[in-house]
Each structure stands twice: as C-alpha cells, then as structure tokens.
C-alpha cells in the first residue's frame, strides 16, 4: 500500500519532467532548422489582425547595450 502511494506520487513529477524534455527538444529542433534566408512578411488574417510570418533575427541586427559604470557608494561603519 505504501509503495503504491509513492509510485502514485511520483507520476506527476515524471509527467512534468517528460513534458519539459519534449518542449526543450522541440525548441532546439526549431532553432536548428530555422531558415534565415526568408526576410519575413506581414500577413493580415481574416479577423483583421496583422502578424509577422517567417524571417528571423540575427544577434548583429539588435542594438548594442550601452555600457555604464557601476555606481559605488561610500559605506561607513
């Protein structure tokens, strides 16, 4: 009886782990097979919503983060 409770308690953990592994694998597969040759386009759906379809962003296309010095405060004991 105690063993059955332990096994039943582990099922949600195993299910969550399997789901996480499957989603991670799908994400890696999607990124590995991304085709950046397509520049992308805007498409208007039947309900009037406009969405961006295709394309991808290269890290060099993003603006650089400005570098700032860390502010140091004088601490007195």
Q: Is 39 a residue whose pLDDT tops 90?
A: no
Report how far residue 2's alpha carbon sits from residue 6's, in angstroms, rounded to the nearest whole number. Answer: 6
The encoded tokens of residue 59 equal 């890290």
Beta bridge partners of 41: 53
pLDDT band at 14 (very low <50, low <70, confident <90, very high): very high
* Three-state secondary structure call for residue 67: coil
Between vectors from CA 49 to CA 35 and to CA 41, what angle results, nearest 5°? 30
pTM over 0.75: no
Strand intervals (E) in the chain: 41-44, 50-53
């Amino acid at each position: 009886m105690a063993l059955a409770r332990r096994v039943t308690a582990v099922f949600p953990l195993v299910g969550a782990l399997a789901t996480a592994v499957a989603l991670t694998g799908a994400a890696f597969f999607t990124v590995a097979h991304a085709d950046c040759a397509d520049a992308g386009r805007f498409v208007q759906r039947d309900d009037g919503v406009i969405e961006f379809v295709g394309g991808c962003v290269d890290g060099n296309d993003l603006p650089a983060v400005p570098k700032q010095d860390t502010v140091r405060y004088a601490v007195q004991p």
